[in-house]
């Protein structure tokens, strides 16, 4: 009994130490988040394959990959714990704290569509334009990350504790349900930047534009 209690206290102490370290080392900064990247003259199929690869390396499992409609959706991924240092789905101190204090999971959805833009070439007189240049193919990639938190029922009696089990077992608790929280714009930004980085590594001189997120 004492060994079990000591083990619990040691785990709690290690978790608290790790979280305090994260808070102490964090810089007070404002994240510039993005929710869309636009890339000129790039193949849609190749971009979707790279997007799947990026998500797989971040430990997401693909639930749906619709190449015709340009949709990629993942299965829910439980938030990384403090000892899972190899994972990269917790971006920022607040998201790391939330994932270690609460039972949360994230679902990523990408929308990849191709459009054609007509561009006019300006003459020496800025008020005049010459003939329209050849149409340019632009690929737009939007990323949406939904955060969900597990809500457990309140015990019926004060002496009836909530089950102290792993996440999979907690979800089977009667009355337990996942509720939508906010959008994780920081993780969406990380995913989009990794996709653009991998595309840039394959193709030199890519014209990539980033659209800032309107969600805080």
| pLDDT value at residue 162 | 46
Q: Residue 134 has which token pair?
A: 């050849």
* Residue labelled with tokens 């193709």: 203
Round to whole Å and give the CA distance between 62 and 128: 49
DSSP string, 44-76: HHHHHHHHHHHHHHTTPPEEEEETTTTEEEEPP
| pLDDT value at residue 87 | 80
Provide the 10 A C-beta neighbour count for residue 200. 13
Provide the 10 A C-beta neighbour count for residue 204. 6
Round to whole Å and give the CA distance between 212 and 126: 29
| pLDDT value at residue 206 | 82
| pLDDT value at residue 145 | 93
- Which positions ≥6 away from 45 have C-beta within 8 Å? 67
| pLDDT value at residue 137 | 82
- Note the Cα 129 to chain centre separation in Å: 42
| pLDDT value at residue 161 | 46
Q: Collect the ranges in the chain with pLDDT lower than 70.
A: 1-31, 117-135, 152-175, 214-216
| 0.75 exceeded by pTM | no
Torsion-angle region of residue 66: left (phi > 0), alpha (psi -120 to 50) or beta?
beta
Going from N- to C-terminal start, the domains of the chain cover 33-212
- Note the Cα 74 to chain centre separation in Å: 10
Round to whole Å and give the CA distance between 96 and 21: 12
Beta carbons of 78 and 167 less than 8 angstroms apart = yes
Round to whole Å and give the CA distance between 198 and 181: 30
| pLDDT value at residue 192 | 96
Rounded to a whole number, what is the largest CA-CA distance in the chain?
Answer: 85
């Amino acid at each position: 009994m004492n060994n079990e209690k000591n083990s619990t206290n040691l785990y709690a102490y290690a978790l608290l130490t790790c979280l305090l370290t994260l808070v102490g080392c964090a810089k007070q900064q404002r994240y510039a988040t993005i929710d869309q990247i636009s890339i000129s003259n790039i193949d849609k199929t190749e971009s979707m394959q790279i997007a799947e690869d990026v998500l797989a390396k971040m430990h997401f499992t693909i639930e749906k990959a619709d190449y015709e409609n340009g949709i990629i959706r993942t299965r829910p991924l439980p938030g990384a714990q403090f000892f899972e240092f190899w994972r990269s789905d917790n971006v920022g101190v607040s998201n790391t704290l939330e994932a270690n204090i609460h039972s949360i999971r994230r679902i990523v959805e990408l929308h990849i569509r191709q459009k054609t833009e007509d561009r006019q070439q300006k003459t020496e007189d800025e008020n005049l334009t010459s003939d329209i240049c050849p149409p340019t193919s632009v690929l737009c990639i939007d990323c949406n990350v939904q955060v969900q938190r597990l809500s457990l029922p309140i015990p019926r009696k004060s002496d009836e504790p909530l089950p102290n089990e792993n996440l999979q077992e907690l979800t089977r608790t009667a009355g337990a349900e996942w509720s939508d929280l906010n959008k994780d714009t920081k993780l969406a930004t990380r995913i989009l930047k990794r996709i653009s980085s991998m595309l840039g590594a394959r193709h030199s001189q890519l014209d990539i534009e980033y659209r800032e997120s309107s969600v805080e």
